[in-house]
Amino acid sequence: MQTADIDTIRAASRTIVRRLGFMRTDLAATGLAPSAVHAVLEIGDGRVTTARDLSEALGLDKSTVSRMLARLQAHGLITASAAKPDPRLKALQLTEPGRRLFEQIETFGREQVRRALAVLTADEQRDVQQGLQTYARALGSPSAPPELRLGTGYLPTLLGRVTDLHARYYSRAVGFGAEFECCVAREMATFLAQMEGSQVNATFHASLAGTVHGSVSIEAHPEDRAALRWFILSDETRGMGLGRRLLEQAMDHVDRQNVACTELWTFRGLDAARHLYESAGFELVEETPGTHWGQDLVGLRFARRHPHLA
């Protein structure tokens, strides 16, 4: 995501915080600080039952939570008694005044949301709900790596992303330029437009945080043959085992479709890719020196036969 997009999210987040009243010394017209209001909500909903739970839920240290609970007790809003079976823990409950305050906060918060949603269409309301839920989940685990998602078939930006990854990698690895990039874009565009013409045709991709980081395609050829094409990984995902997983998907597909022989072309010197191909069952069948997109290279043709049709 671009810096400008990130700053837009940050600005919107600041606006939400201010409009909801979190900059004021009291929140939801309660006379309580925002952290205390959140404590009442967590206890009232039954999501927390002890001071330790509350500390984890609010992301506050134990001493801060202890002082806050003491103030809430002093106001007659909560009780804290020895918990069972561990009396070292304090079981938290709202008192009757605390329960009335809880209902007041709930009513206040719901009305804030209703007023904001009232000016939106039904689709916009769903976008707000889903977007905030997704963003909250992401904020809740900032140290967790993004989930790798494998998929099949066309998805928006796939063509552009695969072309971009090819252009960047092969310009650096072997010196290919505009002619090669245009060839990848043109031929893959034709393939995607005609992909539904055969059940053998397929494309597999892997995404991290909504961005494609790897892809491979199977293109149907006559006489129960197919070609493995446009296999590429981003620099960020090399060494993660993603290439092997994509190739496994592709090979499982051609075997299910009873493809007798699958071929691919590559170049001498791309040793990491060659190792993956050979581990997937491909064997070198031809070496052809020549000029490819302005570079003198040795082309390599690999073939893999169906394990049960050979």
pLDDT single digits (tens) 87-145: 667 788 999 999 999 999 999 999 999 999 999 998 899 899 988 888 887 787 655 56
CA–CA dist 258, 279 (Å, integer): 20
Cis peptide leading into 85, omega within 30 of 0? Answer: yes
DSSP state of 236: G
Does this model's pTM top 0.85? My answer is no
- What is the structure's pLDDT at 292? 93
Residue 286: beta bridge partners? 301
- What is the structure's pLDDT at 286? 95
Q: Which among 150, 182, 149, 190 has a CA at the least distance from the CA of 166?
A: 182
- What is the structure's pLDDT at 236? 83
- What is the structure's pLDDT at 141? 63
Q: Which among 200, 275, 198, 267 has a CA at the least distance from the CA of 244?
A: 275
CATH, domain range 148-305: 3.40.630.30
- What is the structure's pLDDT at 240? 81
Task: Flag residues of the chain having pLDDT under 70.
Answer: 1-2, 4, 82-88, 141-146, 310
CA–CA dist 219, 192 (Å, integer): 10
CA–CA dist 55, 64 (Å, integer): 8
Domains 3-140 and 148-305 share a fold: no
CA–CA dist 195, 188 (Å, integer): 10
In this structure, what are the phi and psi dihedrals at residue 264, rounded to the nearest 5 degrees? -150, 155
- What is the structure's pLDDT at 27? 75
CA–CA dist 159, 192 (Å, integer): 8
Q: Residue 87, Cβ neighbours under 10 Å: how many?
A: 10
Q: Residue 296, Cβ neighbours under 10 Å: how many?
A: 9
Domain boundaries, the chain: 3-140, 148-305
- What is the structure's pLDDT at 30? 82
- What is the structure's pLDDT at 310? 59
What class has domain 3-140?
mainly alpha
- What is the structure's pLDDT at 168? 93
The two three-digit tokens of residue 279, written as one number: 């581990």
127-159 b/e (C-beta count within 10 Å ≥ 16 → b): eeeeeeeeeeeeeeeeeeeeebeeeeeeeeebb
- What is the structure's pLDDT at 182? 98
Hunting for tokens 């072997």 — which residue is that? 174
- What is the structure's pLDDT at 22? 80
Q: Which among 3, 23, 5 has a CA at the least distance from the CA of 14?
A: 23
- What is the structure's pLDDT at 248? 94
DSSP state of 200: S
